[in-house]
A = this chain, B = another copy of it.
Amino acid sequence: MLAEFDLIRRYFMSSQEASTASNGVTLGCGDDATLLVPQAGQQLVVSVDTSVVDVHFPREAPAFAVGHRALAVALSDLAAMGATSRWCLMALTLDQRQFADDEATEAWLADYAQGFHALSQQHATTLVGGDVTSGALSIGVTVMGEVPVGEALTRGGAQAGDLIAVTGALGGGAGGLALWQQGERDLSHPLLSRYLLPQPRLAAGLALRGLATAALDISDGLLADLAHLREASQVGAIIALDALPLADELESTLGREAALKAALSGGDDYELLVTLGADDVAEAQQRLVPLGLSLTVIGRCSETLGVSASDQSDLSGYAGWQHFSGEAP
């Protein structure tokens, strides 16, 4: 068995040691803990997400995607707060028995680390701590970001009359999972890439600061996450099903009904769900243009609690998408 310290050193420490100086890191990995210097005038924004094999991602998923995805889903929470990502810690639990030999373990780790690092570098997020343990494959990622005092986006600010909008497209996560389960393995397929290589919307969250009245990321599915926003803000919601931006190739792959269901309750999309005043929509859309990202109005907040469709469709029929995790205990 490869020793823990060897693992950490070889695949994780070298790359971030080089980048510590400019990132507020006084003492990096390798001591009992890491010393960080937050910026004055900023609030610290922290969140943790665990990705478990056979629950959140398939056992046969490429190691690169496993590393990317574990960090992406955690960063998505910072995006939903309008925070700038700064640091992360990674707790990797790895079952070496799943590999033929040390060489296979190392190959997997190298790919995994590459996926993790590529995304962390893209978002200027320095890996400042970690733990490698033996057990069923699982990755816990703690992310730490910053936001100017009072400017964070929360779930609780929506008011009746606000419009409801989403970034990008919906249903790709669930559509990609369906394709994976049918045997598709080409990660360049737009749906599969949405499922296994989601892009956290950090730049969008930042751009929507000062405009969005509430925000969260869509991880559990649009209806489920909208319910969290409704509860926190004490508003209702009316959704226009025809307005839902469906992921590329989703409808052609699954058919209209399943595509709608994927968009409404599939989850794993990691787009931002936001509310904003009607007068601010154009400005918000304008801000996302440089990011190559759309912002689509899909409904509005109502005083009457609960959720309904503007065309009177029965939304309960769209609940209950078979999540990957639904197959686990």
Question: Residues of B contacting A325 with CB < 8 Å?
Answer: 134
Which of B32, B45, B136, B145 contacts A81, CB < 8 Å? B32
Q: Kindly provide the distance from the CB of A199 to the nearest chain B CB, expressed in whole angstroms.
A: 16
Report the minimal beta-carbon distance from A53 to chain B, rounded to whole angstroms. Answer: 7
Copies of this chain present: 2
Interface residues in A136-189 (C-beta closer than 8 Å to B): 136, 138, 140, 142-145, 147, 149, 152, 154-156
On chain B, the residues within 8 Å of A47 by CB distance are: 32-34, 89, 129
Contact across chains for B1 and A329 when beta carbons are under 8 A apart: yes
Interface locus among A11-19, A36-44, A243-251, A256-264: A36-44
Contact at A33–B134, with CB atoms within 8 Å? Answer: no
Say whether A96 faces chain B, with CB atoms less than 8 Å apart.
yes
Nearest Cβ on chain B to A229's Cβ, whole angstroms: 10
Q: Which residues of B contact A216 (CB under 8 A)?
A: 31-32
Tell me which of B35, B140, B145 contacts A91 (CB under 8 A): B140
Q: How near does chain B come to A38, taking the closest CB pair, in angstroms? A: 5
Given the contacts A30-B232, A329-B96, A48 and B89 also touching, CB distance less than 8 Å: yes
User: Complex: how many Å from CA A201 to CA B152?
Assistant: 36
Q: A134 to B140, alpha carbons, bound, how many Å?
A: 13
Q: Which chain B residues lie closer than 8 Å to A38 at the CB level?
A: 38, 44
Q: Are B135 and A53 in contact (CB under 8 A)?
A: yes
Contacting residues, chain B, for A48 (C-beta < 8 A) = 89-91, 129-131, 140, 142
Known: A89-B46, A95-B329, A329-B97. A31 touches B155 (CB 8 A): yes
Indicate the member of A26, A83, A145 with the most B CB atoms within 10 Å. A26
Known pairs A93-B52, A135-B52; A34 contacts B40 (CB<8 A): no
- Contacting residues, chain B, for A44 (C-beta < 8 A): 35-38, 44
Evaluate contact between A35 and B152: CB separation under 8 angstroms. Answer: yes
In the A-B complex, the 5 residue pairs with the smallest Cβ-Cβ separation, listed nearest first, are: A140-B140, A33-B47, A52-B135, A136-B136, A32-B80
